[in-house]
Amino acid sequence: MALPVERLCWVDAGDNGGLVERYGVFHLPALFVIRDGQFFGALQARLERASLVSALDAALAGPAEELP
């Protein structure tokens, strides 16, 4: 899937309980947007290209949030 991202990281929730707890992951899969070290929140989108790109654009258009 051609996405406009430099890096996409897969984190296994079973092996990384600390990250799951820190970011408050309640649903899997969970996607979070981080750019230049700034947190832009969870990405709510269907796992299809058009939906992901639209949600990514919307997340990056808003202000950065505090890291959980």
Q: How much is the average pLDDT of 11-29? A: 82
Please give the share of the chain, as a percent, with pLDDT higher than 70: 100
CB 56 within 8 A of CB 5: yes
In a domain, 7, yes or no: no
Q: If you average pLDDT over residues 27-38, what whole number do you get? A: 84
22-25 contacts at long range (C-beta below 8 A, 24 or more positions apart): 22/68, 23/68, 24/68
Note the pLDDT of residue 56.
Answer: 93
**Bridge partner list, 39:** 34, 65
Question: How many domains does one find in the chain?
Answer: 1
Q: Determine the structural domain holding residue 21 and report its residue range.
A: 17-61
30 inside domain: yes
Average per-residue pLDDT for the chain: 86
Q: Is the pLDDT of residue 27 over 80?
A: no
